[in-house]
Amino acid sequence: MTELHRRPTTWLTNLRREGERLLVSGVTSNRSNVVEIASILPNNEIKKISHNKLRDTSVWNFEIASDLPKVDWAQIMESDMQTLLDIKEKMTPKILETPKTPVKDSKSKPEIPEKDPKPSKEVVSQKEKDKPEDTPKTTEAVPLSIKPAFPDALMLSILEEKMSQIEKNIVKDYWEFISAVKKGSTWHYRDLGIRFLRNYPESELVPYVRWRLAYRFYIDREYIFARQYVEPMLRDHNMFYPYAVLLAARIDYFSGGNRYHDYYSILRSDYRSHPLSAIFDADYQIIRGGKK
């Protein structure tokens, strides 16, 4: 709390939640600080103030109850994400210097061409363009048995008939974002996704955009960003919840975490008949086989 920063003689000893109320306990050397701190909390109630001596210094123990402060965590996370992306973009060199060709010694032996010459840059470039959306960018093989990509048929996507009920400009921006995701244009899809979440926070397309952003980050092995975008979807047990849980399990598994067992347990116990069971059942068999 910034209010505490202005009052260095006050410190908190406990901060806990009871139902829909917040309980704050602390100690201060100035009794008036208790009232000042309580005033910044919504619907506050000073439940207790008791006087004590600490090495001949008067201190007051206090306890304050209040409503939980309203915090727009989604907006905070979007802002932090944009800051991180801006920093990363600034640190990424836009122009790579072409290495100088070494001067050949006229007395040196003539070069013998290799039997299997490396493919030209044009060929490699074309192969990169032909990669499907869900192919990780790194050329290193994933050292796990679970295949990272979801089958196209089981990707989270909105039904076409629902699109007709949404404003055309929102639908247009949504499809532009999806197109950028499929093309794998790193900064373009991130910029479009973040902009969509910022411009249309109340749109019913927000969960689809958030999940696809998290999924694309996961495919690109940027697990911190992926986790940051999928976590808000774990708070509501709605139609998007199983998709969020499975993606969270995959992110945790591939990033070396230890919570994926809990996520898979939720899916196997509560969503046995869900279409996603084709994925998480296969994942579970691999995990049980000890292939991680």
User: Which of 47, 82, 97 lies closest to 198 in space, CA to CA?
Assistant: 82
Q: Which stretch, 43-52, 76-85, 118-127, 269-278, has highest mean pLDDT?
A: 269-278
Would you list the DSSP string of 223-248?
HHHHHHHHGGGGSS-STTHHHHHHHH
Q: 282 lies in a domain? A: yes
Q: 14 lies in a domain? A: yes
**Do 167 and 263 belong to one domain?**
yes
In this prediction, residue 116 carries a pLDDT of 46
Determine the straight-line distance between the first and last CA of the chain, rounded to whole angstroms.
Answer: 43
Task: Answer yes or no: are the C-beta atoms of 150 and 279 closer than 8 Å.
Answer: yes
Count, residues in the chain: 292
Q: 51 lies in a domain? A: yes
Q: 226 lies in a domain? A: yes
**Do 53 and 181 belong to one domain?**
no
Domain of residue 238, residue span: 144-288
pTM of structure: 0.53
Please give the tally of structural domains in the chain: 2
Q: Which of 67, 87, 108 is the last residue of a domain?
A: 67
* The two structure tokens encoding residue 213: 């952003």
Q: Which of 37, 67, 97 is the last residue of a domain?
A: 67
User: Which of 270, 277, 217 lies closest to 248 in space, CA to CA?
Assistant: 217
In this prediction, residue 74 carries a pLDDT of 56
The owner of tokens 């363009």 is 129
CATH number where 24 lies: 3.30.1360
CATH number where 243 lies: 1.25.40.10
Q: 102 lies in a domain? A: no
Q: Which amino acid is at 240?
A: F
What pLDDT, in 10s, does the model give residues 53-96?
A: 877 788 888 899 888 766 555 566 666 666 666 665 655 554 33
Q: 20 lies in a domain? A: yes
What pLDDT, in 10s, does the model give residues 10-39?
A: 888 888 877 778 888 888 988 888 888 888
Q: 266 lies in a domain? A: yes
Q: 78 lies in a domain? A: no
In this prediction, residue 205 carries a pLDDT of 94
**Do 181 and 276 belong to one domain?**
yes
25 pairs with which residues across the strands?
14, 63
Q: Which of 28, 44, 67 is the last residue of a domain?
A: 67
